[in-house]
Amino acid sequence: MSVMGTRVVRIEDHKLITSGGSYVDDLREPELTGAVHAMFVRSPIAHARIGSIDVSAAREAPGVVGVFTADDLDIAFAPGPTGEPWLARDRVRYVGEPVALVLTEHPYQLADVAELVDIDYDPLDAVIDLDDALSGRTLLFDGTDSNVAGGKAKPFDEKLFDDCEVVVTRTITNQRVAPAPLEVRGAACAWGEDGRLTMWLSTQNAQIARDILAGGLGVDPGTVRVIAPDVGGGFGAKIGADPEAVVLGWASRRVGRPVRWFETRSENLTAMTHGRGQRHTVTIGGRRDGTVLAYRLEVVQDAGAYPRAGAGMLPGFTRLMAPGVYRIPRVEVATRSVLTNTTPIAAYRGAGRPEATAAIERAMDLFAAEIGMDPAEVRRINFIRPEEFPYTTPSGASYDTGEYAKALDAVLSAGGYAELRAEQARRREAGDVVVLGLGIAAYVEITAGDGMGESGRVDVNPDGTVTAYTGSSPHGQGLHTSLAMLLSDQFGVPMDKITIRHGDTDEVPKAVGTFASRSLQLGGSVLKQAGDQVIERAKEIAANLLEASPDDVELNVDQGAWQVRGAPSGGTVTWAQVAAAAGEDGLSADVWYGDVQPTFPFGAHLAVVEVDTLTGKAVLRRIIAVDDAGPVVNPVTFQGQRHGGLAQGVAQALLEEMSYDADGNPTTATLADYPFITATELPDFELVDMATPTTRNPLGVKGIGEAATIGSTPAVQNAVVDALAHLGVRHIEMPATPQRVWQAINDAREGR
């Protein structure tokens, strides 16, 4: 019987619950014996010229092995006017930017020594506000004439809304948030006697990290080995390698000792990239019968101090996915990315797609409110219909498959939408202090949208066990279990005889890794193809052993053995026998999956909130979700991904914001200040299942890593607004904190 689609407890768990994972700070590898400890001295000022740096006192402190600044580095950094230095040289551009590196014998000496590095800063005007940044009054980089790092303000079509009976426009902030994986960033590295650098790095992509390190250090990629040990969460912020990793590799070479680095949480919250950070101006127009005719989205992306993914990739995905699940005849999108004196922005669970969804889903509610129609009905009227797929949007996305109305109806039915509306009306009529709000979001997103390929290799060992090498690099998703299930199903080999390896560039030299919800659809598909090739070859060997024609032998997956077709009693040969007979090269296939076609998961979320109109406190009571990513390999981890996504999406709607004061000082730089969502702020999740396959990969699957994050944020935000709609409230910015909500109630009551 096939194991596919059945609940399988993860093979990853045993170690994690007994002796704990092997995260980078846990490693006791012999190569790291005698390692020195590293800490970066970071800028406490958002924007300043560096006058002088005096390291003399630091260099003489007890336990110091080295203190280095940009002047010591003999490696080139990214060229171009906005290139990001490894260590700041003349100027700092955000609080948290690395300026110096301290190495000590004992980790407790690090903070003592870092304090002794005397840096003279000459403050410049900090550029924090987006309009201030766009004005170009203060430029972040000499030799540029603007802070705009990408995109432009398009001249819009003045006639876009001419035939619309109703047009609504609003400017909305999709605030900056911190990815905040529980494990902060860390690395450990050592140069071997063979002249090679080995770096253990908390990364989602060992191979990309290797190439970044080799490029930064000016060495051949073959000289660098990167190993991703257990990684304590990434959420997009551990893609590749950050500049710190290059400096650590350099420093290890310089002092001739292994180096270990594990940042503090406060460093993590200021110096690991942030996510989101967009300002949207939405304009939506249509007819009073609910038909939307035109939609315009103007995006200003806060890129932070240096152009990383925030400069192009994030707003690019926002542009692509702007129209969401709707057949809107006319869509215009313009995006600009602008540099500010804040932490650089890059990928965070969804990376540009949550922002697109938040904008269109808020816009649909604004439109519905304006014409006085139920938001569910407005959505139904405008959904792309199942028979219209594949569907190419005006923004250029080619959606594969979708059942958008079915997804919405499923959550409304499961949630009891009509009864909830009745309860809402009852409370309003009775003048209850605690009011009820219902929020809907329908969404579609793009997964594996990067267009890059993935590698996979399958070996059948002489003892009949299977070892697979995947280019994917899971860090909590349970992919080892999912991939072992796929191979077990394909080969008829029990899961405990299957080993999945990943994350070591010497074992898997060519790969992309994990992000963009790509791993099962690409990493899984390529292993399936490698498995098919192995089976094809095994068939010939088995035929030989069975003295039959290859056309007459088959793999009996129930028994994990080869037999003559239709003659199961005629003898079998095992995988071990086939592998043993495979000759010197063994029984193996190594495949590169290059024909990557993105897939488009979709769903609908219904959020139920209660808002206390006296205090402004909004509490999420229920969230009911359809997240359709095609056929499910393991419902256990599939649901786990949805749960995690829901929590992070809710967090953005209600709680989390990485904020700065006007001078660019981060005001949420510790976990005591940053309102990281806890168990008490979330309800039990109500999941409704749907599985619409795609035709765009051999497994028929889409990605589930980010989907639920994308739907939940606007569902919850819409629910908070809906709770107060009877007071005339039309919009509340995220996060919907008690103060903001109370202010909105007060403004509405005073007619503002």
Residue 645 touches another protein, criterion: CB under 8 A: yes
| Binding mask of the shown chain, residues 656 to 675, with x at each position contacting another protein by CB under 8 A | --------------xxx---
Interatomic CA distance for residues 46 and 551, integer angstroms? 70
Instruction: Please choose, out of 164-172, 217-225, 565-573, 631-639, the segment that lies near another protein by the rule CB under 8 A.
Output: 631-639
Strand-pairing partners, residue 201, are: 187
> Based on CB atoms, which residue is closest to another protein, 106 or 288?
106
Which residues are within 8 A (CB) of 58 and not within 5 positions of it... i.e. 6 or more apart?
64, 67, 102, 113, 114, 116, 117, 118
> Based on CB atoms, which residue is closest to another protein, 569 or 680?
680
Q: Give min distance, CB of 27 to another protein, in A.
A: 9
Instruction: Please choose, out of 227-235, 293-301, 445-453, 625-633, the segment that lies near another protein by the rule CB under 8 A.
Output: 227-235
Specify the DSSP class assigned to residue 283.
E
Structural tokens at position 238: 């551990």
Q: Which member of 42, 124, 176, 183 binds another protein (CB under 8 A)?
A: 183
Q: Give min distance, CB of 647 to another protein, in A.
A: 3
Instruction: Please choose, out of 59-67, 483-491, 634-642, 723-731, the segment that lies near another protein by the rule CB under 8 A.
Output: 634-642
Q: Which member of 174, 648, 694, 713 binds another protein (CB under 8 A)?
A: 648
> Based on CB atoms, which residue is closest to another protein, 230 or 355?
230
Q: Which member of 271, 297, 646, 653 binds another protein (CB under 8 A)?
A: 646
Interatomic CA distance for residues 95 and 44, integer angstroms? 5
Using alpha carbons, list the distances in angstroms from residue 85 to 90, 341, 508.
10, 15, 30
Burial of 748 (0-12, 13-18, 19+ CB in 10 A): middle
Tell me the H-state helices in 321-352: none
Q: Which residue has the tokens 């070591």?
A: 504
Angle between the 417-430 and 404-415 helix axes, to the nearest 10 degrees? Answer: 50
Residue 685 touches another protein, criterion: CB under 8 A: yes
State which amino acid sits at residue 384. Answer: I
Interatomic CA distance for residues 424 and 719, integer angstroms? 12
> Based on CB atoms, which residue is closest to another protein, 366 or 647?
647
Q: Give min distance, CB of 25 to another protein, in A.
A: 8
Interatomic CA distance for residues 128 and 140, integer angstroms? 11
Q: Give min distance, CB of 338 to another protein, in A.
A: 29
**CA nearest 117: which of 171, 61, 180?**
61
Structural tokens at position 671: 């976990």
Instruction: Please choose, out of 89-97, 152-160, 470-478, 583-591, the segment that lies near another protein by the rule CB under 8 A.
Output: 470-478
Q: Which member of 252, 455, 613, 637 binds another protein (CB under 8 A)?
A: 637
Structural tokens at position 665: 């000082």
Residue 353 touches another protein, criterion: CB under 8 A: no
Q: Which member of 249, 323, 352, 476 binds another protein (CB under 8 A)?
A: 476
In the window 90-149, what residues touch another protein (CB under 8 A)? 107-108
Which residues are within 8 A (CB) of 366 and not within 5 positions of it... i.e. 6 or more apart?
168, 170, 282, 284, 730, 731
> Based on CB atoms, which residue is closest to another protein, 181 or 324?
181
Structural tokens at position 369: 């409110």
Q: Give min distance, CB of 538 to another protein, in A.
A: 34
Instruction: Please choose, out of 85-93, 181-189, 319-327, 555-563, the segment that lies near another protein by the rule CB under 8 A.
Output: 181-189
Q: Give min distance, CB of 42 to another protein, in A.
A: 14
Which residues are within 8 A (CB) of 188 and not within 5 positions of it... i.e. 6 or more apart?
24, 25, 27, 29, 32, 35, 199, 200, 258, 259, 260, 261
Q: Which member of 2, 559, 678, 746 binds another protein (CB under 8 A)?
A: 678
Assess contact for 640 and 655: CB atoms under 8 A. no
Structural tokens at position 732: 């509340």
> Based on CB atoms, which residue is closest to another protein, 206 or 322?
206
Q: Which member of 639, 652, 692, 717 binds another protein (CB under 8 A)?
A: 639
Q: Which member of 121, 161, 235, 295 binds another protein (CB under 8 A)?
A: 235
Interatomic CA distance for residues 722 and 552, integer angstroms? 65
Residue 184 touches another protein, criterion: CB under 8 A: yes
Q: Give min distance, CB of 679 to another protein, in A.
A: 4
Interatomic CA distance for residues 418 and 376, integer angstroms? 11
**CA nearest 340: which of 297, 374, 307, 380?**
307
Q: Which member of 221, 550, 568, 640 binds another protein (CB under 8 A)?
A: 640
> Based on CB atoms, which residue is closest to another protein, 425 or 672?
672
- What do you get for the CA distance between the two ends of the chain, in Å? 65
> Based on CB atoms, which residue is closest to another protein, 214 or 411?
411
In the window 12-31, what residues touch another protein (CB under 8 A)? 12-14, 16-23, 25-26, 28
Q: Give min distance, CB of 636 to another protein, in A.
A: 5
Number of helices and strands in the chain (H, E): 18, 28
Interatomic CA distance for residues 152 and 298, integer angstroms? 10
Whether a cis peptide bond, with omega within 30° of 0, leads into 354 is no
Q: Which member of 327, 421, 643, 726 binds another protein (CB under 8 A)?
A: 643
Residue 249 touches another protein, criterion: CB under 8 A: no
Assess contact for 715 and 359: CB atoms under 8 A. no
Using alpha carbons, list the distances in angstroms from residue 164 to 168, 325, 601.
10, 20, 31
> Based on CB atoms, which residue is closest to another protein, 475 or 497?
475
Three-state DSSP class for residue 359: helix
> Based on CB atoms, which residue is closest to another protein, 401 or 639?
639
Q: Judging by DSSP bridges, how do beta strands 561-564 and 553-556 pair with one another?
A: antiparallel
Residue 373 touches another protein, criterion: CB under 8 A: no
Using alpha carbons, list the distances in angstroms from residue 745 to 431, 492, 729, 733.
14, 62, 7, 13
Residue 32 touches another protein, criterion: CB under 8 A: no
Residue 682 touches another protein, criterion: CB under 8 A: yes
Q: Which member of 151, 312, 531, 644 binds another protein (CB under 8 A)?
A: 644
Assess contact for 573 and 561: CB atoms under 8 A. yes
Interatomic CA distance for residues 246 and 256, integer angstroms? 15
Tell me the H-state helices in 459-510: 479-491
Count the residues of the shown chain that bind another protein, applying the rule CB under 8 A: 56
Residue 610 touches another protein, criterion: CB under 8 A: no
Q: Give min distance, CB of 648 to another protein, in A.
A: 7
> Based on CB atoms, which residue is closest to another protein, 553 or 629?
629
Residue 478 touches another protein, criterion: CB under 8 A: yes
> Based on CB atoms, which residue is closest to another protein, 183 or 355?
183
Residue 717 touches another protein, criterion: CB under 8 A: no
Query: Residues in the site for another protein, rule: CB under 8 A?
Result: 9-10, 12-14, 16-23, 25-26, 28, 107-108, 180-184, 230-233, 235, 262, 264-266, 475-478, 636-637, 639-640, 643-648, 670-672, 676, 678-680, 682, 684-685
